[in-house]
């Protein structure tokens, strides 16, 4: 009889990764100067206007009219974020398939300031297609892991893979963390965009200087 004990050739295995969830990130090419201007205008606005509360556990969050008061640096950042939304979007045409999206997005945007001990609870952004965050000042997280405050994403497939056996993993690229949380480290000057339905939170921040960011929602 033939020996079937080792009949699976790993090189012949075809893997289809179903339902991927994109995270798109890009560093603003002039972020040092842009961030200096944004930091000044956001801190000044936080002194003059009381914040609102949504997902933020502590800290300050502006109203969602950031472009109205952030001046030229705010307009530059908004244009950059809108361009990223277009670059990662397409329009499906019955005749031509996927075509490049040059869309005029509806948007809202707001600024966030977290101090030591502040965080954001788990939430999504219903009613929008893309959401994004731009880190004006990561508070030193890039150089010091103890600063914390990482952005945390919940696996949209749920926790079922972890309930069967927490030690078991799928030995397939992109699937190792199935059922678990994934984190993104804040980086000053980086714009991160993700689907608005993707549940996310911000872990407790422990830095000594203000963590400053700007968040966006885009819809059609």
Domain residue extents for the chain = 22-150+185-219
pLDDT at 139 over 70: yes
Whole-number average pLDDT of the chain? 93
Would you tell me how many other CB atoms lie within 10 Å of the CB of residue 208? 10
Range from 45-49, 175-179, 183-187, 213-217 carrying the lowest mean pLDDT? 175-179
**For residues 24-49, average pLDDT:** 98
**For residues 60-67, average pLDDT:** 97
Whole-angstrom Cα distance, residue 177 to residue 187?
23
**For residues 14-41, average pLDDT:** 95
Q: Tell me: the pLDDT tens digits for 173-211?
A: 888 888 889 999 999 999 999 999 999 999 999 999 999
The architecture CATH gives domain 22-150+185-219 = Sandwich (2.60)
Whole-angstrom Cα distance, residue 193 to residue 43?
24
Q: Tell me: the pLDDT tens digits for 91-118?
A: 988 888 888 878 999 999 999 999 999 9
How much is the pLDDT for 6? 67
pLDDT at 80 over 70: yes
| pTM of model > 0.85 | yes
């Amino acid at each position: 009889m033939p020996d079937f004990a080792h009949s699976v050739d790993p090189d012949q295995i075809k893997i289809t990764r179903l339902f991927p969830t994109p995270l798109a990130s890009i560093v603003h090419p002039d972020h040092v100067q842009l961030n200096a201007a944004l930091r000044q205008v956001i801190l000044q606005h936080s002194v003059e206007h009381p914040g609102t509360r949504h997902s933020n556990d502590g800290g300050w969050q502006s109203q969602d009219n950031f472009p109205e008061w952030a001046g030229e640096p705010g307009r530059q950042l908004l244009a950059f974020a809108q361009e990223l939304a277009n670059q990662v979007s397409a329009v499906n045409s019955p005749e031509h398939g996927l075509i490049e999206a040059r869309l005029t997005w509806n948007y809202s945007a707001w600024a966030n300031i977290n101090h030591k001990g502040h965080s954001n609870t788990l939430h999504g952004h219903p009613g929008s297609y893309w959401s994004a965050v731009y880190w004006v000042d990561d508070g030193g997280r890039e150089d010091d892991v103890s600063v914390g405050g990482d952005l945390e994403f919940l696996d949209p497939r749920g926790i079922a893979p972890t309930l069967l056996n927490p030690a078991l993993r799928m030995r397939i690229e992109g699937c190792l963390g199935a059922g678990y949380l994934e984190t993104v480290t804040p980086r000053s000057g980086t714009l991160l965009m993700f689907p608005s339905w993707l549940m996310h939170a911000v872990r407790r921040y422990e830095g000594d200087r203000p963590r400053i960011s700007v968040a966006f929602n885009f819809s059609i």
